[in-house]
Amino acid sequence: MKATVKKQETTVNKVVNNRTNNRTNNSSKLLETKFINLVNEAKKETKKRDKLETVKAKVINKANFKRVVIGTNNIFKQNFNSLGYLLKIVSNDEQLIFEEQKKNSEFNEFDQIKLTSIFNVIKLARKNSDLYKTIQGLKGIQTKSGNYCIFFLLRTINTNLIELQKLIDLQSWK
């Protein structure tokens, strides 16, 4: 009888030990699986971000210079004495410019995206003195007579759009 009781006790001890071992193994496997899932999720997010950046670059390159810059310049045929006044006029008439541009049958969504990003830079330049000074210091922004015109402004921002957006991104982290 004592032998059967001992057998039962050892069997119970084995079952209890097996349960605790299984629990610790399962919890460590669960943590490992969660970690792997988090790493995979982070990789997916990085790939999405990289893909988004390449799509943005392609969109910016697909926009047509003639439709974006020259088409907008044709709406204004005026020179301005100061860059600040030009930025103010252009940003205040943004809706008018978009309405006029949309009348052009060749004006597409890529052109609209690029023109929107140019206007975003112009709006930020009115509020941010560093960006304003950067734009003012770019080559080709003034006419030979020292005046500013919308064509030169749009052409210069269009040419340097990626660098200006990088500058904006860097300033947003400060």
Query: Above 80 in pLDDT, residue 35?
Result: no
129-160 per-position pLDDT tens digit? 788 888 888 887 877 777 777 778 888 888 88
Higher model confidence: residue 6 or residue 42?
42
pLDDT on residue 148: 78
Q: Which residues contact 142 (CB under 8 A, 6 or more apart)?
A: 148, 152
pLDDT on residue 86: 75
pLDDT on residue 70: 65
Q: Which residues contact 130 (CB under 8 A, 6 or more apart)?
A: 167, 171
pLDDT on residue 57: 67
47-71 per-position pLDDT tens digit? 777 777 777 666 666 666 666 666 6
Q: Which residues contact 158 (CB under 8 A, 6 or more apart)?
A: 65, 68, 69, 114, 118
**CA–CA gap between residue 80 and residue 48 (Å, rounded):** 43
**149's torsion region: left (phi>0), alpha (psi -120 to 50) or beta?**
beta
Buried b (16+ CB within 10 A) or exposed e, 107-146: beebbbbbbebbbbbbebbeebeebbebbeebeebbeeee
Query: Above 80 in pLDDT, residue 11?
Result: no
64-101 per-position pLDDT tens digit? 666 666 666 666 666 666 677 777 777 777 888 788 78
Q: Which residues contact 75 (CB under 8 A, 6 or more apart)?
A: 93, 96, 97, 100, 101
Share above pLDDT 90 across residues of the chain, in percent, rounded to a whole number = 0
pLDDT on residue 30: 76
Higher model confidence: residue 3 or residue 19?
19
Q: Which residues contact 84 (CB under 8 A, 6 or more apart)?
A: 126, 132
pLDDT on residue 87: 79
